[in-house]
């Protein structure tokens, strides 16, 4: 391998378990702080569809909420997704990256995206079930986590826990494509124009914020479609039939329901994760 090739940087090795542990911790912190936005997003995405409650606007959703605790409905299902998922993806990413690039830490955009997509696809094998259960519990306030698991298994068997798996992979790959590309571009722009050539927490934060907003706007339709597809229990429609029903009943703009809370969550979550994770890596690498 040509070590003089551009866009390649070397660094001392870092124990993967440290990256995985801190990656999981930062993701958990982000999810706990931003989860009310996830709750609102799912409610708005499913607004008046598939037997879910209909809200005139976001104010009517707030008016229905009687306590702050309600905004953390199905948080246990989200933890069932995040804990194994966020840990597995880092182990998988580091294993795949090392297999392709050895000790090279930074490489080309295409290779980064390929490694990240493969790692997320592996991690979703552990996290897809939690995503399904979260969506169904938010839309059915009488359903507990155990009942949601039993309902899904009784209706669709074990395979039902992987419903929407490929749609989830496509959505997250699209998010990664945006984040990997734009974060570095925003970072280079601010370093070049507003600093003396050095990065800082402030630069990382504003780059992450803009990256999260951009990623949210571009991937909101995919996330909206995913929520509708995963919420189905009895009427197990295919991707295509679900899409046709959505367009027929709600129009193309129906895919953009819940875009505002989705974008806000993406921007805050991206900022927390990028800044904390980048600062951690700078200290140990």
Residue ranges and CATH numbers for the domains of the chain are 9-284 (1.50.40.10)
Q: Is the pTM for the entire model greater than 0.85?
A: no
Q: Is the pLDDT of residue 244 over 80?
A: yes
38-47, 117-126, 202-211, 248-257: which range is least confident on average?
Answer: 202-211
How far from the centroid of its chain's Cα atoms is residue 10's Cα?
A: 29
Q: Is 207 exposed, middle or buried (0-12, 13-18, 19+ CB in 10 A)?
A: buried
CA distances (Å), origin 75, targets 186, 223, 259: 33, 18, 20
How far from the centroid of its chain's Cα atoms is residue 198's Cα?
A: 29
In the structure, what pLDDT confidence band is assigned to residue 235 with cuts at 50, 70 and 90?
A: low
CA-based nearest residue to 268, from 35, 2, 72:
35
**190, 207 Cβ separation under 8 angstroms:** yes
pLDDT digit string, tens, across residues 179-201 = 777 877 888 888 877 776 666 77
d(CA 43, CA 144): 17
Q: Which two tokens stand for residue 61?
A: 């959703």
* 114 C-beta neighbours (distance < 10 Å), count: 15
């Amino acid at each position: 391998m040509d070590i003089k090739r551009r866009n390649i940087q070397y660094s001392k090795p870092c124990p993967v378990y440290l990256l995985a542990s801190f990656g999981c911790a930062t993701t958990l912190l982000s999810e706990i702080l931003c989860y009310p936005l996830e709750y609102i997003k799912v409610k708005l995405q499913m607004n008046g569809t598939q037997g879910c409650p209909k809200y005139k606007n976001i104010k009517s959703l707030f008016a229905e909420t009687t306590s702050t605790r309600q905004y953390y409905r199905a948080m246990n299902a989200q933890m069932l997704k995040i804990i194994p998922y966020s840990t597995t993806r880092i182990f998988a990413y580091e294993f795949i990256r090392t297999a392709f690039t050895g000790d090279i830490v930074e490489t080309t955009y295409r290779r980064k995206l390929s490694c990240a997509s493969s790692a997320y696809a592996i991690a979703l094998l552990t996290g897809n079930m939690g995503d399904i259960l979260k969506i169904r519990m938010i839309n059915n306030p009488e359903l507990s986590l155990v009942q949601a698991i039993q309902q899904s298994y009784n209706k669709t068997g074990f395979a039902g826990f992987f419903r929407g798996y490929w749609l989830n992979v496509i959505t997250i790959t699209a998010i990664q494509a945006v984040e990997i590309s734009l974060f570095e571009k925003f970072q280079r722009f601010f370093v070049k124009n507003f600093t003396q050539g050095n990065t800082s927490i402030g630069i990382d934060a504003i780059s992450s914020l803009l990256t999260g907003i951009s990623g949210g706007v571009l991937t909101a339709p995919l996330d909206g479609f995913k929520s509708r597809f995963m919420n189905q229990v009895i009427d197990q429609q295919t991707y295509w039939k679900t899409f046709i029903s959505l367009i027929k009943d709600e129009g193309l703009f129906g895919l953009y329901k819940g875009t505002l809370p989705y974008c806000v969550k993406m921007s805050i979550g991206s900022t927390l994760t990028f800044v904390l994770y980048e600062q951690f890596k700078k200290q140990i690498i």
